[in-house]
C-alpha cells in the first residue's frame, strides 16, 4: 500500500500548479488504488505563520507548555504525522517573486522538527523522513529551467534543500513554465506538464 500526501499552495484562481499537482496525485493513486490520498490545501486553509508559541514550545517538555505553545505544537505534530505517514509527496506551488508561496513556507516551518523529521547524531545531520519520493509541481510566468533566468529560480533549490534536510532526496520537478509567454504560453506549458505526468504515472 502506498499513501500520497498532496500539498497545494497557490492562492490564484485557476492555478496551474494546483491543477497539475492534483492530476499527478490522482494518476499516482490510480496506480495503487488501495493507498490513501491526503490533500492539504494550503491556499484554501492557510496555516498560521509560526509564532512565539511555536518557537518557545519546541524547546519545552510537554508538562511545561502554555495553552498557546501546546496548540502550536499540536498543529505541527499533525503536519509531521502526515508527512511521516506518506510514501509519496506531491507539492504544487506557484512561483511567486522567484520563490515558493508563503503558505507553503509556513508548512515547511511546522514540519522541520528536531527529533521528528531530522536529528543531529555524532556523525552529523540525519533526515528522519527517509524512503519517500517527492514531486514538485512548479508553475511560473517565465522560463527558469534553462536560459538567462535560471539563476533566479530560488524555489527549486530551496525545496530540494528542505526535502534533503529531512531525508527526502528522490525528487522530481515538473515545471508548468512560461505561462505568461505569449498567447499560447499557458496552453503549451500545461500540455507539456500533462505529457510529463502521464509518463511518470504510466
Ligand atoms: C504576486 C505574483 C508574483 C509573481 N512572481 C513571479 C515571478 O517572480 N516570476 C515568474 O516567472 N512569474 C511570477 N508570477 C506569475 C506566476 O508564477 C504564474 O501566474 C503562475 O501561473 C502561478 O502559479 P499558479 O498557476 O499555480 O497559480 C507571479 C504572480 C504573482 C501573482
Query: 32 vs 26, which has greater pLDDT?
Result: 26
Element holding 191 (H helix, E strand): helix 185-200
Q: What is the pLDDT of residue 86?
A: 97
Residue nearest to atom 23 of ligand 1 (CA): 94
DSSP 3-31: -EEEEE---STT-HHHHHHHHHHHHHHHH
Strand partners, 138: 93, 175
Kindly give the number of the ligand 1 atom that is closest to the alpha carbon of 12. Answer: 27
Q: Which residues line ligand 1 (CB under 6 A)?
A: 10, 12, 15-18, 94-98, 139-142, 179
- Domain hosting 130: range is 4-200
CATH number at 22 reads: 3.40.50.360
- Give residue 202's pLDDT: 86
Tell me the per-residue pLDDT of 150-194, one tens digit each, with 9 for 90 and over: 999 999 999 999 999 999 999 999 999 999 999 999 999 999 999
Residue 1: what pLDDT?
59
List binding-site positions for FMN: 10, 15-17
C-alpha 156 to ligand 1 mean position (Å): 14
The angle, 0 to 180 degrees and rounded to 10, between the axes of the packed helices 67-85 and 102-111 is: 90
C-alpha to C-alpha distance for 131 and 124, rounded to whole angstroms: 19
Question: Cβ distance 4 to 25 under 8 Å?
Answer: yes
If one counts the domains in the chain, the total is 1
pLDDT band at 95 (very low <50, low <70, confident <90, very high): very high
Amino acid at each position: 500500500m502506498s499513501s500520497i500526501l498532496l500539498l497545494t499552495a497557490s492562492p490564484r484562481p485557476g492555478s496551474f500548479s494546483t491543477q497539475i499537482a492534483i492530476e499527478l496525485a490522482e494518476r499516482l493513486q490510480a496506480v495503487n488504488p488501495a493507498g490513501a490520498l491526503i490533500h492539504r490545501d494550503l491556499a484554501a486553509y492557510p496555516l498560521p505563520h509560526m509564532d512565539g508559541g511555536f518557537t518557545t514550545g519546541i524547546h519545552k517538555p510537554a508538562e511545561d507548555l502554555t495553552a498557546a505553545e501546546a496548540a502550536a505544537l499540536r498543529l505541527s505534530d499533525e503536519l509531521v504525522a502526515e508527512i511521516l505517514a506518506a510514501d509519496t509527496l506531491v507539492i504544487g506551488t506557484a512561483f511567486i517573486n522567484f520563490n515558493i508561496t508563503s503558505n507553503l513556507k509556513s508548512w515547511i516551518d511546522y514540519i522541520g522538527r528536531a527529533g521528528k523529521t531530522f536529528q543531529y547524531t555524532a556523525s552529523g545531520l540525519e533526515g528522519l523522513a527517509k524512503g519517500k519520493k517527492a514531486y514538485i509541481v512548479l508553475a511560473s510566468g517565465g522560463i527558469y529551467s534553462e536560459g538567462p533566468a535560471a539563476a533566479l529560480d530560488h524555489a527549486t533549490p530551496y525545496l530540494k534543500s528542505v526535502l534533503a534536510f529531512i531525508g527526502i532526496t528522490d525528487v522530481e520537478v515538473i515545471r508548468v513554465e512560461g505561462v505568461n509567454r505569449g498567447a499560447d504560453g499557458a496552453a503549451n506549458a500545461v500540455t507539456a506538464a500533462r505529457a510529463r505526468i502521464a509518463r511518470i504515472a504510466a
